[in-house]
């Protein structure tokens, strides 16, 4: 069987705030195994940011202060091949080399997926999805500009801090947005060219039909004239 891998990316700041609100309401990822190279990480490799059953009511500052919070650069980590950097073992290589490898791996995997879309571009995402898989949705995608993340009022310092915590995701998103818009423009140009060729072919067929019709009418006129002359 053929499997097509697809994903959706989101603006890193909005995504981070959305996850914070989700965790604040009591969400956890306790059932996630975080399997890598056939094993789950040890508690030392992946410690928790909280004690107890969940992190309900966590403030944004507390959420940002946990250095091993998996919300940081989540999109890069989930798209990259973690086995390239020793999975969750942070002593496997130095941090700068690890980050470079993770980011490049995430970019490569994203580029080679059958399809990816962007949450901030719902209609363009729908258009590309339909073009990629040759199907039509029965209703248009809806762009929701008001979300839980958009309702969070943060100042510029906090925004900058979130961007710093998600600096890999920020780079990945810029790469993804550029690639996404290139694909969209290419698909639009391809569609326009296809439509032009289709219209050109339709005009050619119409001209041929008209020419054929004129030939039949001229032949009919000649036949009528010959018949009239013979009668006279």
State the pLDDT at residue 67.
95
- Mean pLDDT, residues 121-143 taken together: 95
Residue 210 is predicted with a pLDDT of 87
Averaged pLDDT score across all residues of the chain? 92
Domains of the chain, by residue range, sit at 6-194
Distances (CA, A) of 108 to 61, 123, 156, 179: 33, 25, 32, 12
Tell me how far apart the alpha carbons of residues 180 and 29 are, in angstroms, rounded to a whole number: 30
Eight-state DSSP code of residue 226: H
Q: Which pLDDT score, from 0 to 100, does residue 146 have?
A: 76
| Residue pair 189/43 in contact by the 8 Å Cβ criterion | no
Strand ranges in 115-157 using DSSP code E only, listed in sequence order: 115-118
Note the pLDDT of residue 231: 67
Residue 117: pLDDT band (50, 70, 90) is very high
Tens of pLDDT along 136-159?
A: 999 999 988 778 777 889 999 999
Weakest mean pLDDT among 8-12, 120-124, 193-197, 221-225? 221-225
Inform me whether the pLDDT recorded for 177 exceeds 90: yes
Count, residues in the chain = 232
pTM: 0.85
**Would you call 49 exposed, middle or buried from its count of C-beta atoms within 10 A (0-12, 13-18, 19+)?**
middle
Average pLDDT over residues 219-229: 65
User: Range with the lowest mean pLDDT among 5-9, 91-95, 184-188, 225-229?
Assistant: 225-229
**Model confidence over 65-104: pLDDT tens digits?**
999 999 999 999 999 999 999 999 999 999 999 999 999 9
- Region 122-144: mean pLDDT is 95
């Amino acid at each position: 069987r053929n499997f097509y891998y697809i994903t959706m990316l989101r603006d890193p700041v909005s995504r981070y705030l959305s996850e914070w609100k989700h965790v604040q309401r009591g969400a956890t990822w306790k059932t996630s195994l975080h399997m890598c190279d056939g094993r789950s990480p040890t508690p030392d490799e992946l410690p928790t940011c909280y004690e107890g059953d969940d992190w309900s009511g966590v403030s944004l500052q507390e959420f940002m202060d946990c250095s091993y919070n998996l919300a940081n650069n989540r999109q890069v980590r989930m798209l990259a091949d973690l086995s390239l950097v020793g999975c969750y073992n942070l002593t496997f290589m130095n941090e700068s080399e690890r980050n470079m490898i993770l980011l490049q791996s995430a970019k490569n995997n994203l580029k080679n997926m059958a399809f990816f879309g962007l949450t901030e571009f719902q209609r363009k995402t729908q258009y590309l999805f339909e073009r990629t898989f040759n199907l039509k949705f029965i209703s248009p995608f809806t762009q929701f500009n008001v979300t839980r993340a958009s309702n969070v009022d943060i100042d510029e310092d906090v925004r900058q801090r979130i961007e710093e915590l998600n600096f890999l995701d920020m780079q990945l998103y810029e790469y993804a947005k550029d690639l996404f818009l290139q694909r969209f423009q290419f698909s639009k140009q391809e569609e326009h060219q296809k439509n032009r060729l289709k219209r050109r072919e339709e005009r050619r067929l119409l001209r041929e039909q008209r020419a054929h019709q004129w030939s039949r009418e001229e032949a009919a006129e000649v036949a009528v004239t010959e018949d009239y002359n013979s009668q006279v």
